[in-house]
A and B are shown apart, each in its own frame.
Chain A
């Protein structure tokens, strides 16, 4: 048998989702990743940038440079890509509510580099529906958001023709608990809503519609049930083609092909025995690359220690190497599709397909994805699925190695270093960013800024496309906060339904021995208190990942507490106000962005100032051990991290805490 090099397919685009502290620090990281063989960039922006605030806005406090890079103006963007020629780079930007703005900064930066925007390749995520459902960085109401999305689509199709203007994300739906069927159906409903809108506003001819259809890309998740996940990708490929032909009359085969990127699952990564995640990540990557017919176009792998805190460069390198081994060492890319003709794969695929069609029709019948956000249908379904998943883990029905099975372990040398095993964001980053922003404001031409902002406002009022005046504003030196404020004033801001209130109490929840026991304790303690035990579940800061808070809220209700849950993005002042107005006995805060050090301590301090210092505060989130100790010192009663998967036990401890504090 000949060992000469066989013909291999070109590998997928290899990326790592990254960005932190500052444009300068992130630029250094990107250049080192590219030197290590990464083939594209994936930019993580910090939460103030994603929600349209400058780094010195009060709501940005503690969040600057935490989950990504802060970009306030064109000089930040230019610094981020220094030494990286934008016409040669494929850049994926995880940006949604402020997508039009960050894309404008990117285009303006390319022009400063002397590059033609027509040469730019990459992706703006620009998928607002899933922000309402899961990720939480929405700003504007659904109608205004859909307008922004469709204007970016219709602008780029001719002016930045190689750009993917929207990346419909089912990724975050799975993170929020979606089953494969829900992932397929909701993503398709979302894409249809966008396409219908573009067709409506744009007087789009058939040829342009086909090109727009062809430029819509998807961003999928892949969990540990990797065979099913592979079939999910195959089913989605079929359904997308079907929708293209039947709903939009597209015939061009090339345009009908589903193009998607993947980031594998973070939801299933465990804090317990975290090295096991290395294997999980590799298997999940295999799931979306194994079948040629449904192979991902680009892949991002999370780091093994994500459930512990922010990954270090070495952790990201391990994920990069995992991809490179799969793409370059194994024989994966040498064959035609391995599963064509497999009865098992075809049966599973067609089952997923028909269930997904049914669910898709249900959403379309009620008026499409926007309606299903506003009436909370999709959100409720996701919260239900997630609740069912967590119950299955608690009951042991779903095995998670190292968590609810095979917990016996020796100490891991990988995490023996404690807080050295994660990245510490330099606390001076926020101050330095604010200083550089202030310097930028001083050196720009304020007349040009004022004029650019007025033109932006006029364009929006007159129904003109937002991109041209936004690009001009970028060049004039407008900041992220200023651009967003114009839109906030014109469109208003939106608070999405939390979806928790309608989650039914299942018979299963009522039957569980453990839940019954805790409920009896809640009744008993409530009697002693004179009124029902009342808990405030709060999400301070800009972090919109509300899944944890929602599950805590539902569980607290199931064990008989009265629960006040006001949704995401609350300031410490609002949380304290709510605690006072509602007369709660205990407060649970959920926070995942790494800004717990500032925000949680703020809440505790402000409670004390308001004379409410006796209300106990418990915190849950991705909180490294050292930070947890600091929080306890600051007055927090309990800190829960991802390894505390048993929500009923958490409730039990909360009841005991309230009981102890109110002992006669």
Chain B
């Protein structure tokens, strides 16, 4: 089809190669292709994802926080700085979609400044189509494409509570952007969301005392609550995305967390857990708990993921789905 001719003409392997080379047109074509939900194209999608699975994986970083906390401005400052360091960056901005018409207004929240635009930072916005306020399956697959192409991939989501847990399945490092004295913190602590982030960034530090108080509250809150990974103490940073203050420190913190993941082996553990969680969510979403039970329970998913480390999770989900459908079509005997 005209807008992305490569999606028909390119075979999966050569498209994957171009993606890995950082060819931005190919990245866009690959994202279009994995978004294509026509059954006839399913095999091409899975072949592409399999080919990408075998390649490199750039760091996946989630950025979350309440509306108005300055996520966009922070990302803008971050990617501009990373680009001057010679690191390639891709961004996925997930927008809430309209459930009523299927239509959605994208790209409004994620406003890149001219520096990032001039630098050629790749930005794709995505409608969270089927899960209210959450992350649709396509988000995970899109991140698989982007991380094959770029050194660092950021996914931006609105922190509404539920999606934090969802985004942790997709990223290795999660940054929580807090706004001083917004009252959000108490809510987040209550909701238990503070256990997920690996880095906290208190934005708008130019607000002075209020920002310092928020930093102190966060540090105190973190000592109290349960943490996802007790081996890593999440740093609480302060800065001002608008004035470019604290950006270098944040990049250092991201790099430090990535280094920790490698050294401790936690990176591999998170990756495995993330793949299992994505498969579980997809199976339950499509076939319900009954479908999962029919498959033989969560253990089957775990075993399958462990048995096929080089296969894309979408392929595994697809194959498991076929088995469930087959089982439904076959009398169970009792």
Contacts and interface: CB of A to CB of B under 8 A. Distances in A.
Contacts of A141: 242
Interface residues of B, number: 43
Nearest to B107: A564
A612 to B, nearest CB: 8
Given A510-B101, A562-B97, 5 more contacts: A501-B108, A532-B129, A558-B103, A615-B2, A615-B3
A583 B108 contact: no
Contacts of A56: none
Contact of B36 (A530, A557, A562, A584): A530
Interface stretch (A33-41, A401-409, A573-581): A573-581
Contact of A556 (B29, B95, B103, B109): B103
A565 B107 contact: yes
Interface in B35-79: 35-38, 41, 68
A574 B127 CA distance: 21
A612 B6 CA distance: 11
B213 interface: no
Given A531-B32, A531-B36, A582 B124 contact: yes
B4 A583 contact: yes
Interface string B1-44: 11111000000000000000000110011011001111001000
B123 interface: yes
Contacts of B243: 492
Contacts of B113: 493, 495
B304 interface: no
Contacts of B35: 530-531, 583
Interface in A492-517: 492-493, 495, 497-498, 500-501, 503, 505, 510
B32 to A, nearest CB: 4
Contact of A529 (B1, B28, B102, B103): B1
B243 to A, nearest CB: 8
Contact of A519 (B101, B104, B107, B129): B101
Interface in A535-579: 553-554, 556-567, 574, 577-578
Given A505-B98, A558-B101, A530 B3 contact: no
B209 interface: no
Contacts of B100: 505, 510
Contact of B104 (A492, A557, A580, A581): A557
B163 interface: no
B103 A559 contact: yes
A510 B98 CA distance: 12
B228 interface: no
B3 A585 contact: yes
B120 interface: yes
Interface string B104-121: 111111010110010010
B105 A563 contact: yes
Contacts of B120: 577
Which of A500, A531, A565, A661 has the most B CB atoms < 10 Å from its CB? A531
B5 to A, nearest CB: 7
A500 to B, nearest CB: 5
Contacts of A584: 3
A563 B101 CA distance: 12
B3 A614 contact: yes
B108 A498 contact: yes
B111 A562 contact: no
Task: Identify the 9 closest CB pairs spanning chains A and B, nearest first.
Answer: A614-B2, A530-B36, A501-B108, A557-B103, A531-B35, A583-B32, A560-B103, A530-B38, A560-B102
A662 B5 CA distance: 11
6 contacts: A519-B102, A531-B35, A531-B37, A560-B103, A564-B106, A565-B108
A535 to B, nearest CB: 10
A611 B25 contact: yes
B68 to A, nearest CB: 6
